[in-house]
Chains A and B, each alone.
Chain A
Amino acid sequence: MDHQSIKEKLLSYKDPELSTAEREQITLHLTSCEDCRSAFARWEAVRSKFKALPSARSSEAFVNQVMARLDALEKVEPTIVVSEQRPFLRWLLPLTGYAFAFFLMILAITHQEQQVNTDAVLLADVPQASQWTFSMETPDTSRLLGIQKEEI
């Protein structure tokens, strides 16, 4: 192993999971590399002080508090996990909705009412045939009212 490979495993030197071969290679490297030796010494110094962190002392009061809380939560029982039954083809319902919405959209686009260009209608020399074109002819009211003129 080269310096970089050793450096990668250096701080796990004391881990029991490290293989004997790897440990031997690191040991050999430490005898010749001042930088790695110093880094390892600093880490080991910190590691040895982790044990100085305080640990909790056994407390019967704590145990009683937990049990009292369990008693207070009357309905609390160990939950037995039942795998959730997923409804068959659960995805089909929203898909149908989306398909119907899409269908309505297509229908609306294809059956759009023809739009009248008002500028073109008003500025045109020739009267345009549209529902907004006024006829200059006087309508025959008799015909519209269905009155037949008597012949004289």
Chain B
Amino acid sequence: MIDKLHFTEENSIEDFEIILDILAGDRDAYKEIVQKYEVRVRSYCLNVLQNSAQADDAAQEIFIKAYQALGQFRGAASFSTWLYRIAANHCTDVIRKIARWKTESWEALLEKEGEQLESLFSVAPKIERSEQSQLIAKLLSVLPEKYRTILVLREIHGLSYQELSETLECSVDAVKARLKRARQEIEMKSRHLLERKRV
């Protein structure tokens, strides 16, 4: 199996060597992988799940799953993209479980925080950064899960179209289409907010 693992430019040599060591039986080598990627994975979980305790639990599960599936890593994509794929799938499952008892509609959010939301769409907002962060989190939470996932991966974690396609296991054209719809969804909400204000 090990000889099937092939090196690509996207994979760092360091990751490649560590993975070979782990697969050869050196479990402790996995600590280097966790240390290297824990901030990225925990941040992704936090951005998507918006709860630090749930995010840390999810991140732990993701690293355990990644370890158990390490034998399936072929090196065609970078290790970080492969890890993001596991993280995206795991967080999708968690969101679907949470959604059974916790969903807030866009209308409910407008009723509660209409005025503050308006500042999100303003170039010169009159609110603090911490408030901006809470509002963005709330805005993301009313989006469909697939839009939330792609926006976090693209706008916060900076994945390219190609990396998104490998992470979300779809074509680059599908990535472009989904990203466009996700962005349009936010733009439409901003338009709706402004029209509501005029009425």
- Give A18 Cβ to nearest chain B Cβ, in Å: 10
Contacts of A73 in B (CB 8 A): 64
Contacts of B53 in A (CB 8 A): none
- The number of A-B residue pairs with CB atoms under 8 Å apart is 128
- Picked from A17, A39, A55, A81, the residue with its CB within 8 Å of the CB of B187 is A39
The chain A residues found within 8 Å of chain B, CB to CB, are: 8-9, 11-12, 15-17, 39, 41-47, 49-59, 62-63, 65-67, 69-70, 73, 76, 78-81
- Picked from B1, B71, B187, the residue with its CB within 8 Å of the CB of A42 is B187
Contacts of A58 in B (CB 8 A): 38-39
Most buried by B among A41, A43, A46, A80: A46
Known: A56-B43, A62-B42, A66-B64. A80 touches B71 (CB 8 A): yes
Contacts of B63 in A (CB 8 A): 66
B139 interfacial contact with A, CB 8 Å: yes
Task: Check B67 against A56 for contact (C-beta < 8 Å).
Answer: no
CA distance A62 to B34 in the complex (A): 9
Contacts of B139 in A (CB 8 A): 46
- Give B40 Cβ to nearest chain A Cβ, in Å: 8
Contacts of B132 in A (CB 8 A): 49, 52
Contacts of B137 in A (CB 8 A): 53
